[in-house]
Amino acid sequence: MILLDWFLMAMVILVILVNIRSFLVLAELKQKRAQMIEDINAIHGSMEEFVMSVEKENDELYQRFVDHVQMKDSKIVERIRLLEEKLNNEMAGSSPMKLQQEQQDDEAHVYVAASEVHEQENDKMLKLYKQGFSEKQIAKVLQMDLGEVELVLNMFKKKQSYQK
């Protein structure tokens, strides 16, 4: 019986020690939890400050952008106004005949430039034809319509037949 009493007392002491240890662990966990809550609140506070500073900086940048765009717009409007004044002054100083002549000169320059482009394309077509390329191949290489290539080559062939 004495052995059993000692055993029971040892068990009671062991249970008391486990309970004391449990209370200590729980106290440490409560402290850690409180520290974590403080850290979380500090993080939330710093995040709110950061977001507010970013929003403030964003608003400042947006306002600077708007000011810049308005300045550019006003410069463009002023430039357009000056060009319109210059055009009106030139038109007022020019006679209708002179304006018509300038317009015809511009059209002539456009026509000459277009004919030069066509001559270059025709030269390329004839060069490829003389090298033995078919009409379809020439159209594909020069990225032109087959009908246009056929027309130019037929004209070239007729011109050669008249020269013989």
Separation of alpha carbons 153 and 161, rounded Å: 12
Check if the beta carbon of residue 121 is closer than 8 Å to that of residue 142: yes
Tokens of 20: 């004391």
The 10s digit of each residue's pLDDT in 89-117 is 877 765 555 556 666 665 655 555 556 66
Tokens of 85: 């004044």
The 10s digit of each residue's pLDDT in 153-162 is 888 888 887 7
pLDDT of residue 100: 65
Tokens of 139: 């159209």
Q: How far is CA 149 from the centre of its chain?
A: 40
Rounded to two decimals, the pTM is 0.38
Task: Please tell me what DSSP assigns to residue 105.
Answer: H
Separation of alpha carbons 133 and 144, rounded Å: 14
The 10s digit of each residue's pLDDT in 19-54 is 999 999 999 999 999 999 999 999 999 999 999 999
Q: Is the pLDDT of residue 138 over 60?
A: yes
